[in-house]
Every structure is written in structure tokens, then in C-alpha cells.
């Protein structure tokens, strides 16, 4: 399974999960079967609200799940339509978030719990 996390930088497992998927500077992608990690620069971090195209950024990695602190409804819908599940994490490092994901401790982020704009608060929106 391939898991994508929006991150503030490119320090791998020790990097902090960014607070909003679409405007993260980087995406850290971890393959749970091969135990490999890739980091890519988000070429779409400065987008207009509602114009985030999450699948385009990570499509080549065939991601199965996204772990994030926050994401807009349209991005959740686009990912779900592409077969990608989204899970909510709370400010952890990549390593901590992956441990919670693999232990099935994370809640799925749905259209009902996604945030409606870039001025959202942390947590379930």
C-alpha cells in the first residue's frame, strides 16, 4: 500500500505533517510493503481555493491513502473518486502518523468532515 502525507519539508520520517493537504510544500510517499520513502515537491501549493488537483500531484505514485491534518471537500471528493481514502491525523511526524495508520487508529476524512475553506481550524472541520 502507498500512503501520501503532505509535509512541511523533505526530511522523510522525521518531517512534520503539514496542516492542509493542497498547500503543503512537499508530499512524502511511503510504500508499506517495500518500506520505501519518496519525497516530491508540490508544484501546485499556491492555488486558488477550490482549485487544488491532488490526484495530478501524486498520480504517478498510485497512492492508496492520504494522511492529512486538513483537506477541502473538493479535494476529498477528487481523491475518493480516484479510489484514494483520506485519513485525519493531528500534527504528527510522518513516522508517528504512519504508525497510527498501520495500527488503524485514524478516522477517515469524509465529505461531511472536510473543511470548507483555507481559513479552517485544526481537527475535524
**2-108 adopts what CATH topology?**
Nucleotidyltransferase; domain 5 (3.30.420)
Q: Is the pTM of this model over 0.85?
A: no
pLDDT value of position 122: 40
Q: Calculate the average pLDDT of the chain.
A: 82
Grid cell 485519513 is found at 87
Residues 6+ apart with CB under 8 A from 64: 1, 2, 3, 83, 84, 85
What are the tens digits of pLDDT across the range 77-118? 888 988 999 999 987 899 999 999 999 999 998 877 665 544
Amino acid at each position: 500500500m502507498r500512503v501520501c502525507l503532505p509535509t512541511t519539508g523533505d526530511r522523510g520520517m522525521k518531517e512534520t505533517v503539514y496542516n492542509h493537504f493542497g498547500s503543503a510544500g512537499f508530499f512524502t510517499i511511503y510504500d508499506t510493503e517495500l518500506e520505501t520513502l519518496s519525497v516530491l515537491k508540490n508544484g501546485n501549493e499556491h492555488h486558488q481555493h477550490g482549485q487544488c488537483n491532488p490526484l495530478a500531484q501524486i498520480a504517478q505514485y498510485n497512492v492508496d491513502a492520504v494522511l492529512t491534518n486538513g483537506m477541502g471537500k473538493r479535494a476529498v471528493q477528487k481523491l475518493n473518486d480516484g479510489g484514494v481514502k483520506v485519513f485525519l491525523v493531528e500534527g504528527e511526524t510522518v513516522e508517528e502518523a504512519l504508525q497510527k495508520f498501520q495500527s488503524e487508529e485514524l478516522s477517515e476524512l469524509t465529505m461531511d468532515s472536510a473543511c470548507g475553506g483555507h481559513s479552517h481550524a485544526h481537527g475535524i472541520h
